[in-house]
Structure 1
Amino acid sequence: MLTIGIVLLVEHTSGSYGTAGIVAAAAGLAVALIAPLCGKLADRYGQRAVLVPAVLVHAAAVSLLIVLALSGAPLWALLLAAVLAGASVPQIGPMVRARWAARLDPRSPLQHTAAAFESVTDEFTFVVGPVLAAALCTGVHPAAGLVAEAVLTVTGGLLFAAQRRTQPQVSVRIAGASGAAGGSGGSALRITGVRALAVAFLGIGMVFGGMQVSLTAFSEEIGNPGLNGVLYGVFAAGNMLAGLVVGLMHWRRPADRRLLVAYPVLVAATVPLWIGASSPHAWLQGGLGLLVGICIAPAMITGFTLVDSLVPAGARTEAYTWLTGAVALGQALASSAAGQLADAGGARAGFLVPLGGTALACVVLVVLRRRLEPPAPPAPPVTGRIAARGARHESPVAVD
């Protein structure tokens, strides 16, 4: 709701998709840069200590952005408020995933199911959020979508912070090996596999951001601006439905191999989306958006599942925030790029952003595919009589 609320409000007050995309990009960039720091602080000091001040600052920042936009403030002022609003977005999604990881055995198939469940609940918000924000902005007031976003964030954030029983234990030292986050203050981003996943999620974020702006422009072009929330909701519904299916399946193929199949399929799905934008038929573009949404869920769920096997327990919240931050960064870059392209060449040009972003990320993912393989578990120590017996069998020659 934050990104599309900014796009709709700023486009209304400025009359430019490019300006709206830049302001939304500033918020997304702030999320991407600050989210990993919030995750690291949550790992060290506890989720509640980070979450409560974050939601309060976020509500104040969104309120400031609304006042500035409606008063015709200059772009630099809007950008500052957007940066503060993005930097204070509470990282509830990564915190929830960290709680699942702490409560479930890493080898349990329920880890995959939990990741799928979180993806479904996330995508439910992507279904309801854009429709609600668009309806409020077009039917009530241009700022109503952001007002609702701030109210829901504060209410949900405080309720979640009150659930102390399921919080992971605070981890002051993060131990790891083979390039993992090691020592005090080590970062999960030191793990090459996490960096590869971050690039993949950056491409997924470019799908989200490019779709938001381009569908808004497409709806304007066909003379039905209120339809953009519905079209984006259809796209997100495909993601949610696919998440349900993926969560119910028991996979034999390792997660790293599944990702290398799911991601190229996502790239292929963005091609007809770009081609179909030249048609004035909303049902066609909605159907193609549904297809893209269906292809996103397997890639996202598999990526989150891989984190559990690549990252030590004490750094998982931070690792999850690197991925969600990469999605936010992708949204930011795509919102700006798609806005500029839509202003210059129409909605069809904006749909090039999801295609280009996922294609480049797929290349990087293939190149770094070896880094996605989970490290082999350490061999259990051999001690006591078993060790002595093994030594006698292995060393038949006596040594004085």
Structure 2
Amino acid sequence: MSVAVNFRLARQLTGGRVLLWSLLGRLPNAMSPIGTLLLVSRNTGTVWSGSLVAGALAAGQAVGGPIVGRLADRRGQRTTGLAAALANAVALVALVVASERGLALGWQIAPAALTGLSVPLVGPLSRSRWARLACGEPELTSALLTLDGIVDEVGFTAGPALVGLLASAAAPAVGLLTAAVLSGVCASLFALHPTAAPGVPASSLPHARSAERLLSTPYVLVLAGMALLGACFGSVQVGITATTEALGRPGAAGLVYGFLGCTSSLAGLVTASLPARLGLAPRLRASAALLFAASCLLLPAGGSLPALTAAIGCLGVAVAPQFITMFGLVERTVPAARLGEAMAALVSALILAQSASTFLAGWAADHAGPGAPFAVTTGAAAAALLLAICTATERRYRRRDPAARTG
């Protein structure tokens, strides 16, 4: 299906506005990490302090994401999403106030951690919502999840760019305050939309023990694949920053990384047009192979900015297909009653791996030169390809509990 067809299907199911609230409501998730880093680094005068506070935010999100997802599955997206959106907005404002007033670092870490814990999870809950509205029809489910993946890519690209623009034009605090407004207003509207899932109490599920089992071999394999993709993200960020500084063009780092988001978004549009008969498992193997091939281009590209930009653009082409495919595999392999929690845990796996690879790549850059982080990227991509080749089969990722998805 084309993107236009997918968009029409989404409008028929939801009226269209939920797509707007979904996009604007997930922007704070992309804006908060870089916004926190810029704000705290500027106010304290040290990048280390900014990294520490931003790390607390990431850790909070990794822990809180599955909790918020599970509460949304149990108590409904409306109540949980609204509470998380409002708490997230308040925490962001508290973080800005603490940093602007120059309070002790601990008083800045606390609201940053709360910001991560209370992320409204508009992205994961949106994917869960689309899967529910599709009522188990495979082609419709694939079309809607692909459309949501494109929205995710747009948010992934626009969020950091918006923070950078506001920080340059005004101040870093303006970027985080904008994220607070978007979270409090748009994420709340997304949560209150009539399509919000009502929740399924555990006591109402038949055969609760078997129906509630979340961890399975296919799901764990997807978690591992998403973690390896997160390792690629983290090491690429460090590699771009280190390489542009070595080339004497540190200001180009944001533009180069933004180009990755642009090519990834375009690849998402192409993914939306792929026929449904092309299974998710073959797509995963193909996208993993493309990711590894593109990562190899990074190794010799550190000598010039155009070569680095071209290699990063090739890497972006591989990101969206793999990202979208893995979310589709989760929808297929976990119980419908725990889909929100499963989607949130997938994002947590990406965040934790991205944070860990950032530290590893930073150490590599300090000890082996600005191009060393890209070796971490290539290693993670090689592991992702090996994992996909050895495990990605249609039989392994067959659809689970279809009765629960028929609405």
- Once the two structures are superposed, the pairs formed by residues 213-362 of structure 1 within 5 Å of their partners are 213-276=238-301, 278-281=302-305, 283-342=306-365, 347-362=370-385
For residue 170 of structure 1, the aligned residue among 199, 209, 222 is 199
Match of 2:24 in 1: none
Structure 1 residues 176 and 221 mapped into 2: Cα distance closer, same or farther (>3 Å)? farther
Instruction: Tell me, in whole angstroms, the C-alpha distance in 1 between the residues paired with 2:379 and 2:48.
Output: 19
Q: 8 Å contact 1:264–1:362 — kept in the other structure?
A: yes
Q: Which amino acid aligns with 2:294?
A: A
For residue 66 of structure 1, the aligned residue among 71, 78, 96 is 96
Instruction: Tell me, in whole angstroms, the C-alpha distance in 2 between the residues paired with 1:379 and 1:7.
Output: 44
Structure 1 residues 78 and 358 mapped into 2: Cα distance closer, same or farther (>3 Å)? farther
Q: 8 Å contact 2:295–2:377 — kept in the other structure?
A: yes
Higher helix share: 2
Q: Which amino acid aligns with 1:63?
A: V
1:58 CA drift (Å): 1.5
User: Aligned pair 1:114/2:144, yes or no?
Assistant: yes
- Once the two structures are superposed, the pairs formed by residues 180-195 of structure 1 within 5 Å of their partners are 182=209, 186-188=212-214, 190-195=215-220
Task: Give the TM-score normalised by structure 1.
Answer: 0.82
When the two chains are superposed, the root-mean-square deviation of aligned CA atoms in Å is 3.0
Q: Name structure 1 gaps, 5 residues minimum.
A: 381-400
- Once the two structures are superposed, the pairs formed by residues 87-166 of structure 1 within 5 Å of their partners are 87-164=117-194, 166=195
User: Aligned pair 1:9/2:39, yes or no?
Assistant: yes
1:192 CA drift (Å): 1.9
Q: Which amino acid aligns with 1:291?
A: C
Moved more, 34-43 or 344-353: 344-353
1:24 CA drift (Å): 2.6
Structure 1 residues 57 and 307 mapped into 2: Cα distance closer, same or farther (>3 Å)? same
For residue 55 of structure 1, the aligned residue among 71, 79, 85 is 85
Moved more, 348-357 or 265-274: 348-357
- Once the two structures are superposed, the pairs formed by residues 192-211 of structure 1 within 5 Å of their partners are 192-211=217-236
Render the CA deviation track for 1:245-304: whole Å, top value 9, x for unaligned: 01111043421232123213212312222432x3242x3222211111110111111111
Instruction: Tell me, in whole angstroms, the C-alpha distance in 2 between the residues paired with 1:124 and 1:29.
Output: 24
Structure 1 residues 270 and 306 mapped into 2: Cα distance closer, same or farther (>3 Å)? same
1:30 CA drift (Å): 1.9
Instruction: Tell me, in whole angstroms, the C-alpha distance in 1 between the residues paired with 2:131 and 2:98.
Output: 41
Instruction: Tell me, in whole angstroms, the C-alpha distance in 2 between the residues paired with 1:205 and 1:91.
Output: 17
Q: Which amino acid aligns with 2:303?
A: S
Q: Name structure 2 gaps, 5 residues minimum.
A: 1-30
Render the CA deviation track for 1:304-360: whole Å, top value 9, x for unaligned: 111222122211111111112222222322333344444555542333443333334
1:183 CA drift (Å): 5.2
Q: Which amino acid aligns with 1:50?
A: T
Any idea what SS the aligned residue of 2:171 has? coil
Instruction: Tell me, in whole angstroms, the C-alpha distance in 2 between the residues paired with 1:347 and 1:20.
Output: 21
Structure 1 residues 352 and 20 mapped into 2: Cα distance closer, same or farther (>3 Å)? farther
Moved more, 76-85 or 296-305: 76-85
Match of 1:391 in 2: none
Instruction: Tell me, in whole angstroms, the C-alpha distance in 2 between the residues paired with 1:163 and 1:329.
Output: 31
Aligned residues with identical type, % of pairs: 31
Any idea what SS the aligned residue of 1:143 has? helix
Instruction: Tell me, in whole angstroms, the C-alpha distance in 1 between the residues paired with 2:121 and 2:304.
Output: 38
Any idea what SS the aligned residue of 2:138 has? coil
Structure 1 residues 155 and 120 mapped into 2: Cα distance closer, same or farther (>3 Å)? same
Moved more, 98-107 or 330-339: 330-339
1:151 CA drift (Å): 2.0
Structure 1 residues 61 and 224 mapped into 2: Cα distance closer, same or farther (>3 Å)? farther
Instruction: Tell me, in whole angstroms, the C-alpha distance in 2 between the residues paired with 1:74 and 1:182.
Output: 47
Instruction: Tell me, in whole angstroms, the C-alpha distance in 2 between the residues paired with 1:379 and 1:158.
Output: 31
Instruction: Tell me, in whole angstroms, the C-alpha distance in 2 between the residues paired with 1:246 and 1:43.
Output: 28
Q: Which amino acid aligns with 2:272?
A: G
Q: 8 Å contact 1:24–1:335 — kept in the other structure?
A: no
Any idea what SS the aligned residue of 2:172 has? coil
1:61 CA drift (Å): 2.1
Instruction: Tell me, in whole angstroms, the C-alpha distance in 1 between the residues paired with 2:231 and 2:363.
Output: 14
Task: Give the TM-score normalised by structure 2.
Answer: 0.81
Moved more, 195-204 or 104-113: 104-113
Aligned positions, number: 372
